[in-house]
Structure 1
């Protein structure tokens, strides 16, 4: 039975000391499984049927590739002082270097990235987006470059409470967004989810105080969140593993020429160890290879 999810407005700004001590506000999560907001935009047919040769040719002519990202999802995309950085950000810079162009970043709300892509305001979207059937129908997706799965932060005394992600049914859980893979999983598993729009610090305080029993997000991101929050009353529920994810960047449908050169750059950066090095820098471990899915819960339709 699916639960009704509510939104809790918060004003707390997170102080997440991840990857260089950035002050980080984290209302977003790894990609949406449902409505990306893209199909509600008014799109010109000429834009929707973007010419595959023109997109890459225009980027080469201008000498830059415009990238949409949130800047609010450490350690993937965030500000360290005034400098935009993060795993996806630095990977895009490495890709741009391989292509011989500059990377120009346009930061925006997470929910606005894909509509901006459809409208031609940006060339590619990079924000730890997961592969979904809807996205495959609407956009060109790169080859995956980051592999992970969902997990949960819980109170330290509850670290062994859940033997499987399936035991989250009926459990109060906190979410950073209603349009994420984790919100979709929570709904499908029957958890009692609440989305926060103010930041991860407020979420973790509610877990500590017992208002929520768990915070769902990407395992690698949660590790960095715990390190930054530095509260020994919290822990990762190591047995909670769900929704294996493969992260990609996206381009407008029809931009197959651009996709081809970016895929070639990703392959080069994988083979020469750059992606593994960036993974170690921002996640503390290599996320460039597929994960073992034997113990990961995946629900039908996900």
Structure 2
């Protein structure tokens, strides 16, 4: 009888040990998986990045060299340089960036992407490298018949479907006119000709665009300002090691003045790396 009990006891002990070992192994595998993406990048020496290539001055092609450049692009290049990594850009629309991150086609996306609570539930974000506030481009001749955001109902708002700016337009009852990674030229000409009425987007970006396309019947609306925001690099939520590594470098770039220097280069002397208060933009 004691022998039977002893065997039963031994089986129970072994079963418990087996469960504990399995749990420990699973925990170890999960930790290894969490580090895999960043470890693989360090091993291959290449960062794969999604950006639009059509968003002046964050991500666009230089008119003379046709080289991909812009504030966001140069921030990403400097980030890779300081991490001793090569960098490969893939140009795509915003919706494609998010799916490409999830599929592993790219390691992260950088394209003036606003940090929101909804996005933070699904993706990881670095510390911000840019701060701004929302503004609106309308026709200069008649202000597109818009005095405030409340006047957007029934107006044609141009943009990409899943941006935070289109969410604002949708909230105020605008008719959405959806573009797929269109150039600034197309967006702005459509407002000027009346095909659309308004573009909601970043204040700094819009100010530069209007200045560049001075021949068009467009202007930045004088009073519409909303939603102070921050832009960050977006990546898989579980890639915490990568996020920490990026944050260390971004902190260095902020402290040594690199972000300020790049900002002033692309934003006509403005320092977008500093936080902006809503009342200061009016």
Q: Which range, TM-score by smaller chain? A: 0.7 to 0.9
Contact 1:69-1:77 within 8 A present in 2 as well: yes
Which one of 97, 108, 122 corresponds to residue 124 of structure 1? Answer: 108
- 2:35 alignment counterpart: 53
- 1:78 alignment counterpart: 60
Contact 1:160-1:239 within 8 A present in 2 as well: no
Alignment RMSD: 2.6
Q: What is the count of residue pairs matched by the alignment?
A: 249
* 1:249/1:283 CA distance change after superposition, 3 Å: same
* CA offsets 1:271-302 (integer angstroms, 9 cap, x no match): 111111111111221100111034889xxxxx
- 2:203 alignment counterpart: 219
User: TM-score, with normalisation over the residues of structure 2?
Assistant: 0.79
Mapping of residues 82-161 of structure 1, within 5 Å: 82-158=66-142
- 2:217 alignment counterpart: 233
* CA offsets 1:159-192 (integer angstroms, 9 cap, x no match): 59755x4333325233121221111101112233
Rounded Cα–Cα distance in structure 2 between residues aligned with 1:272 and 1:260: 19
How far does residue 227 in structure 1 lie from its aligned partner after superposition? 2.2
Rounded Cα–Cα distance in structure 1 between residues aligned with 2:138 and 2:205: 14
* CA offsets 1:1-52 (integer angstroms, 9 cap, x no match): xxxxxxxxxxxxxxxxxxxxxxxxxxxxxxxxxxxxxxxxxxxxxxx99833
Which one of 212, 217, 229 corresponds to residue 245 of structure 1? Answer: 229
How far does residue 158 in structure 1 lie from its aligned partner after superposition? 4.2
Rounded Cα–Cα distance in structure 2 between residues aligned with 1:283 and 1:103: 24
Contact 1:174-1:203 within 8 A present in 2 as well: no
* More contact order relative to length (CA 8 Å, sep ≥ 6): 1
How far does residue 213 in structure 1 lie from its aligned partner after superposition? 3.2
* 1:114/1:157 CA distance change after superposition, 3 Å: same
Higher helix residue share: 2
Contact 1:153-1:236 within 8 A present in 2 as well: yes
Rounded Cα–Cα distance in structure 2 between residues aligned with 1:49 and 1:158: 59
User: TM-score, with normalisation over the residues of structure 1?
Assistant: 0.74
Contact 1:139-1:250 within 8 A present in 2 as well: yes
Q: Which has the larger radius of gyration?
A: 2
- 2:239 alignment counterpart: 255
Rounded Cα–Cα distance in structure 2 between residues aligned with 1:280 and 1:220: 11
Which one of 266, 276, 290 corresponds to residue 275 of structure 2? Answer: 290
Q: Name structure 1 gaps, 5 residues minimum.
A: 1-47, 298-302
Contact 2:53-2:68 within 8 A present in 1 as well: yes
Higher strand residue share: 1
Rounded Cα–Cα distance in structure 2 between residues aligned with 1:272 and 1:278: 12
Q: Name structure 2 gaps, 5 residues minimum.
A: 1-29
Rounded Cα–Cα distance in structure 2 between residues aligned with 1:225 and 1:88: 16
Rounded Cα–Cα distance in structure 2 between residues aligned with 1:274 and 1:228: 25
Rounded Cα–Cα distance in structure 2 between residues aligned with 1:104 and 1:194: 31
- 1:62 alignment counterpart: 44
SS in 1 for 2:113: strand
SS in 2 for 1:190: coil
